[in-house]
Amino acid sequence: MENLKPENFYQWTKRCPNPYVIVRIPVMDISNEFQLKESLQKLGMKDAFEEDICNLTKMIEEPSKLDKIIHKAVMKTDEYGTEASAATSIYDLRCGGRIERFKADHPFLFFFTTNNPKDFKPLSILFIGTFC
């Protein structure tokens, strides 16, 4: 996943001519936690982690600083649908004529996307993950 780039995703979906796909996937309950402090500091958010510089007085009264920022992503899929974080959605997998079949009985990479309603081409990646 470290080497995955947006260009890869767009190349894969550009070649997908079919709007209808029958997908068989196992029941999944996937979660992961990400420590964001280092990444946010690399992006320039440094003051919030320094006690003598950080100013959170509009949120809390006493002087403070941030110590950790953790992002947790959760996705559960079963025969009733998919729940990702706090959102529940039903996905209609559409990419053009005959119905394709895909049985997920091996490790795979998956994406949940928003789609253009006119041609069903993906617009934005909402969730990405692997199932092993």
Residues 21 and 84 both lie in one domain: yes
Domain that holds residue 21: 1-27+79-132
Residues 119 and 103 both lie in one domain: yes
- Whether the Cβ atoms of residue 18 and residue 96 lie closer than 8 Å to each other: yes
Encode pLDDT of 91-119 as tens digits: 233 333 445 566 667 777 777 777 666 66
Residues 38 and 59 both lie in one domain: yes
Residues with Cβ within 8 Å of 69's Cβ and at least 6 positions away in sequence, in order, are 35, 36, 37, 40
Number of structural domains found in the chain: 2
CA nearest to 108, candidates 128, 88, 124, 94: 128
Encode pLDDT of 47-83 as tens digits: 887 878 877 777 767 667 777 787 777 878 877 777 7
Instruction: Record the pTM.
Output: 0.45
Using the Cα atoms of residue 81, residue 86, residue 92 and residue 95 in order, give the sign of their dihedral: negative
Residues 132 and 83 both lie in one domain: yes
